Amino acid sequence: MLTELEELRTKALAELSRIDNLSELEKWRVRYLGRKGALTSVLRGLGSLPIEDRRSAGATANDIKALLEAELQRKEQGLREKELVAVLEQTRIDVSLPGYPVPLGRLHPTTRTLREICDIFVSMGFQIVEGPEVEWDYYNFEALNIPKDHPARDMWATFWLDTESGDRSRLLRTHTSPMQIRLMETVRPPIRALMPGRVYRYEATDATHESMFYQVEGLAVDQGITMSDLKGTLFEFARRLFGEGRKARFRCDYFPFVEPGVEMAIDCFICQGAGCRLCGNTGWIEILGAGMVHPEVLRRVNYDPDIYTGFAFGMGVERIPMLRYGIDDIRLFYGNDLRFLKQF
């Protein structure tokens, strides 16, 4: 029995040394250490030996089993490390190769322009004020000198919101001007405020119209404010936004909440006033509407128009990059086309 065990140990170790993959190693384990393996078969024959030989042969068999299990574990660990090294060799990274380009996110052209406008007016002493996009009829129209059934309401195609009572009292704001009233109801002059935000118009979309766009409203109220303050502020804004040497033109216009009302245009920065396709061959580009705050608007917020005066202005934010970059369709701003957005 001892001779048989020694021959089994020698043969098993010799075969184990020649194995070079895990599949063959598993077959070796089954062949020598499995339930029907060679070592198990030898151990089953111990019962036929005399008691003195059985004890000695049993101890030798257990030692051989422990040896084979230890060698099996060592061999398995070595083969697994070898496989890992092979995988790493196949998938190793060459650090000398150039890296993959990482696409960087950029601010939307509307966001960039909005921040630029806000920075200019903040530097001139204005504070940023924001308000609700769902607004009451009172703030959007009535308090701004546009009573019910007034024809001026046709200037703003409105998204009305359904209410339980069925009346039209709530809407998606059509301009950011309601914040003028909300601010003046809670703050006493002097006021220097800029009100940016999204506004909504119930109208068909085309190259120059969109149902949602951004607008910036400005308001200044104090004692002794005049039209010259309005013109000086807006001219300085145009100079900083569009560059030094800009000329400005103010012409009369109508807005219900200002009196007098004006439109402001700058000389075309493409043709320098000579006339081109961008400015419609006029030499001028309209950029915003403005005017002196109407006395009735001041009275509604308990400001005495004999003491306080003010000016207000408003502009569409998307119009600025359209003029700057020659964009001929406002729908491009919200079409989510990366080919368009990546240009900015």
Rg for the chain, CA atoms, rounded: 42
Domains of the chain by residue range: 2-91, 109-341
Class of domain 109-341: alpha beta
pTM higher than the cut 0.75: no
258 in catalytic set: yes
> Can you list the alpha helix ranges (DSSP code H) found in 205-304?
227-242, 295-300
What are the pLDDT digits (tens) for 23-71? Answer: 888 888 888 777 777 777 776 666 666 666 666 766 777 787 888 888 8
Q: Which is catalytic among the residues 220, 248, 293, 312?
A: 312
Q: Which is catalytic among the residues 57, 143, 215, 293?
A: 215
Closest CA to 180 of 195, 169, 170: 195
d(CA 147, CA 161): 18
Give the three-state DSSP class for 223. Answer: coil
Q: Which is catalytic among the residues 175, 192, 294, 319?
A: 175
Per-residue pLDDT of the chain (344 residues; tens, 9 = 90+): 667 777 777 888 888 888 888 888 888 888 877 777 777 777 666 666 666 666 676 677 778 788 888 888 888 888 888 888 888 778 777 778 888 888 888 889 999 999 999 999 999 999 999 999 999 989 999 999 888 887 777 777 888 888 776 677 888 999 999 999 999 999 999 999 999 999 998 888 887 788 899 999 999 999 999 999 999 999 999 999 888 878 889 999 988 899 999 999 888 776 766 777 666 778 888 889 999 999 999 999 999 999 999 999 999 998 888 888 878 888 889 888 888 888 88
136 in catalytic set: no
AA letter at 43 = L
156 in catalytic set: yes
Q: Which is catalytic among the residues 199, 258, 265, 301?
A: 258
Q: Which is catalytic among the residues 57, 143, 156, 180?
A: 156
239 in catalytic set: no
